[in-house]
A and B are shown apart, each in its own frame.
Chain A
Amino acid sequence: MPVFEWNEIKIEVDEDGFMANPDEWNERVALALASTEGITELTADHWKVINYLRDYYKQYGIAPMIRKLCKETGFTLKQIYDLFPSGPAKGACKVAGLAKPTGCV
C-alpha cells in the first residue's frame, strides 16, 4: 500500500489516494490530503463540508448522497466544486478521510 507523506504526516493511502485506514484521520491529516487536491488552506466552508461528511460516514458507513450533502450544508454543487476541485466524491470525501465511494456512483 503506498504511503503518503506531508510534513510530519505519514499515512497509508490506496491507489486513488484515499486513506487506507479512515480511523487515523485528524485535522492535520485533512490538511495533508487537501494538499493533494491543490487546496492550500481549509476555510470554514471546507470544514462545514468535511464535518458533515464525517458525521454521516460515522453513522452510516458510506458517503452521503451528493444532493443531501448540498442540502444539509447549503452549498450548491458548483460551490462544492469550487471548494474541492475534483468534486464531492473524489475531492471532498478524500479530504474528509472517507474510503473511496464504490459502485456506479
Chain B
Amino acid sequence: MAEKRKVRISDISNPNIYPLAEVGPNNTIELPPPYDKLENLPGFKKLSESARQAVDDSLDGVVAVGVPKPKTPEEEQELVEKFISGLIKLFSKENNWTFLQPLLLTMEHCAKCQTCAEECPIFEASGYEEIYRPTYRAEVLRRLYFKYVKPGSPLLKKFQVGDIELNWTLISRLIELSYRCTICRRCAQACPIGIDNGLITHELRKLFSQELGIAAKELHEKGTVQQLLVGSSTGMTPEVVKDNVSFIDEDLSERLGIKVESKWDVPNADYLLIHNAGEFLSWPENPAAFAILLDAAGIKWTYSSELVGYDGVNYGVWYDDFQLARVAQKHFEIAKKLGVKGIIMGECGHESKSMGIIAERIFGNEIKTINAMTLVEQIVFSGKIKFDPERNNFPVTLHDPCNIVRLMGIVEPQRRVLRYLAPKFREMEPHGVENYCCGGGSGFAVMTPYNFLDWRMHISGRKKFKQILDAFKDEPPGPEVPKYVCAPCSNCKGQIRDILDYYGAKEKSGIYYGGLVELVVNAMVDLKEPFIDFSMM
C-alpha cells in the first residue's frame, strides 16, 4: 500500500488539499466470514454533483451536517468573525459556566502522549486517519485558543503550540469534524491526566450551533426545535402518542392474554415514566414490557401527555446548551406539577445523561431520577415476581451504552439481571466501562444524510459489529439459532439495527436485538405466551 500523506494540524485551513483525508471501506478491523469480503458490502455512496456544489465535502468526502457554502466573501467574513467572538465566549465564565473548567484543563495540560488514540474505535476503523485522531480536533482548537483567547506574547504562544491560520476552510471542516466523534469518551477514560477530548467535540458543536446557527438538522430543526414545538422529536403530538400507546396496550394484551394497561396523567403517582419516544414507534415491546413489569411490582406510575413530557430525548446534550436547558426544564416542571416523587428514565442513554446527570443537579431539588437498569434490578430481585429463566434459553450478549455505563458508572445492575434471567448470557470483549460505542452515539444513530450512513456503518460502527460477532462465535454461525443483543438504549438500538441490516446479519447469522426489560418480562411465569417473538423482530 502506498504511504499515505500525513495530514498536519495546519493543513485544515489549506483549501488546496482536497479532500483533507480520503476515507472509505477498509479492513483495518477484520471481520470473520461471511463478513470478511469488502467487495460484498456497499461502499460509500458518491455525492451527486448538485450536493457537492451546495455543501462542503472537503474534510473527508463525507457529509454529516452539510455546511452550506457562503455565497459572498462578506458572508464568509461575517461567519469567521462570529466564530472568533464565539470562541472567546466559550472561554468566558459568564458564557460557559457549565463546562469551562474541564475545557480549560483540556486546553492547557494535554501531554500528547497519544494514549487516547489507542482507545478510539473511529481512529482505528478508519485505518488510522490523522484527522480522526482524538487529539487532532483538540489540537486545532488548542491552537485557536492560544492564538485568539489566551493572553500572552503571540510569539511565545506560537512557539508553545504551533501556529494555525483561521479561515472559512478551517471552520467549515471543523464543523464536519465535530460530527466524526460519537462522544463515547473512551479516550477521556484512558487519559492518564483526565483530558477530555470528547468534551472538545461537544464544545465545538455548541459553538457552531449557538454562535453560527449551524447544527445537524436531525438534532436541531427536526430534533429539539420540533420537540419543543409539537411535543416530540418524532413529531408525535399528545393525541398521536396516546393513540399509539393504546394500540400497543391492545395489541400486546391480545397477543399475551394478560392486561397491558398504560396510565396517563395520574396525579401523585410514585413515578413519572419517560421513555425516548422512538420506543413507541419502533420498539413497542419495550414500553409494553415496562408497563407489565411496573404493574407486577406494584409500582404506581404514570405517563404525562403534556408536550415534551412523553419524550425523554434531549438532543441538546449533544450540541447546544440552550436547547438542552429548555427541554430539561420542561421534564422537571411536568414531574413537579404531577406531584410524583421521581422520574423513571426509560432505556435511553442520552436521556439518562441529560436528565439524570446534568438536569437533576439544576432542577432536581424535589424530584429525583432513577435509571431503568437500577430499577429493573430492584424489581427482579424484590421477590415479588416469579421468573423462569429457561424461557430465555437463547444466546444473549450485552451492549453497554456509553452514557449509562462509562459515564454514569451503572455497570452491574443489568448484568446481575442477565446472569440470573438469561442462562446463555455472555459478555462482549471488552465490556463494562471498557466497552465500545455502538457507533451511533451523540446523535449519529438518527443521522443518515448524503453518505453519512456509509461512514457510520464502515467506520464508527465496525468495531461494535465485530464485538457482537465475536460474542457469538461459539454458537452455530447460521440463522438457525436466534441470538439476542441486549442494548438497553434507544439510540444504540437504532444504530445496531442499521448495522445488522447493512451487513445482513439477521439473515446470515440470526442476530436480533432488543432491550433489557423485554428479556425480564419474557421470563415472567405469569405470562402464558412468550413475550419475545423473533418472527416479529
Contact = CB atoms under 8 A, between A and B. Distances in A.
A90 B239 CA distance: 24
B494 A104 contact: yes
Contacts, number: 92
Interface in B203-223: 218, 222-223
Interface stretch (A19-27, A37-45, A46-54, A66-74): A66-74
A65 B282 CA distance: 6
B313 A104 contact: yes
A105 B282 contact: yes
Nearest to B230: A61
Contact of A68 (B244, B278, B536): B244
B536 A77 contact: yes
A35 interface: no
Question: Contact size class for A?
Answer: 20 to 34
B339 interface: no
B65 to A, nearest CB: 11
Interface stretch (B12-20, B384-392, B443-451): B443-451
Contacts of A103: 222-223, 226-227, 232-235, 277-278, 281, 311, 313, 446
A63 B227 CA distance: 16
Given A15-B51, A102-B218, A102-B222, A62 B234 contact: yes
A104 B276 contact: yes
B501 interface: yes
Nearest to B243: A60
A61 B241 CA distance: 12
Interface residues of B, number: 47
B277 to A, nearest CB: 6
A61 B54 CA distance: 29
B50 interface: yes
Given A2-B48, A76-B536, A105-B234, A62 B240 contact: yes
B278 A105 contact: yes
A8 interface: no
Closest 10 CB pairs of A and B: A104-B278, A103-B234, A103-B233, A15-B449, A102-B222, A62-B235, A105-B278, A104-B490, A105-B282, A105-B281
